[in-house]
Structure 1
């Protein structure tokens, strides 16, 4: 299972970033920072809130086998940010299976997977990465 899974990548998912989408997202999360609506000298124009990338469609690699469990727990995510996301950017996300393992715990047999999603802008620069853990049981 590990040999078949580690390194498997998702198809790329691409999203064009719009100024209005950034403003609506900031409003939805209750953040009135002017960097998200008007821009500031420090940011060099309008930028998206760091959590904006969560609004992209989910990116999941297709595993080459069926996981025999139907229940899913979110084991958390770690984010790293490298560049601002700005209006006009075209962000492409690709998920990669970093690890998958079987374990027995208090809820019984589980499969724990770690997926790393890399977000790149139109210039190919990495703007952020998200490493997520999922627990199926």
Structure 2
């Protein structure tokens, strides 16, 4: 396969489109306490994650995921691909992917805004933002970047996750 042929017209047209969304149940104090205890184990978590009285209410650690256990509402994809399907970003959107056989994580970066608090309902919206084709040691590679933007029930920015995956044939 020659350079510049991995991204088809449907994929180019989908750039910027929302490919997934989900809404959490209201965050519970027990969720925040358990998550804090788990991520700090075997040490005790900082008191601000356990004691609401002194900090204006419980706040979640930055890494808290309100979608970890259950999702209240979610977009139903056009096609439900297998979890390890390398064409997953395209298939959930109902378009044809590049058909590459292998995929590895290419990196993640997070930007944090408002802390998640008890009672917050978080909405996640994931968009397909970039395709970059490169030539690797094993042949053509496709770097695919998605952005997952979280907001709370007031529309305040909570978190932005940019994830890149690397797909290739070997």
Return the TM-score normalized by structure 2: 0.70
Aligned to 2:139: 108
Report the aligned-residue RMSD.
2.3
Where does the alignment leave 5 or more consecutive residues of structure 2 unmatched? 1-7, 76-87
Task: Kindly indicate whether residue 7 of structure 2 is the aligned counterpart of residue 7 of structure 1.
Answer: no
For 2:60 and 2:108, the matched residues in 1 are separated by: 19
Task: Kindly indicate whether residue 113 of structure 2 is the aligned counterpart of residue 73 of structure 1.
Answer: no
Alignment partner of 2:122: what SS?
strand
Where does the alignment leave 5 or more consecutive residues of structure 1 unmatched? none
| C-alpha contact (below 8 Å) 1:100/1:114 kept by paired residues | yes
Q: Which has the greater radius of gyration? A: 2
Q: Structure 1 residues 40 and 94 mapped into 2: Cα distance closer, same or farther (>3 Å)?
A: same
Q: How far did residue 127 of structure 1 move?
A: 1.0
Q: Which segment is superposed worse, 77-86 or 103-112?
A: 103-112
Q: Which segment is superposed worse, 109-118 or 1-10?
A: 1-10
| C-alpha contact (below 8 Å) 1:34/1:40 kept by paired residues | no
Alignment partner of 2:130: what SS?
strand
Aligned length, in residue pairs: 135
State the Cα deviation string for residues 41-73 of structure 1 (Å, max 9, x = none): 4x421000001138547x985342123123221
| C-alpha contact (below 8 Å) 1:38/1:46 kept by paired residues | yes
| C-alpha contact (below 8 Å) 1:5/1:100 kept by paired residues | no
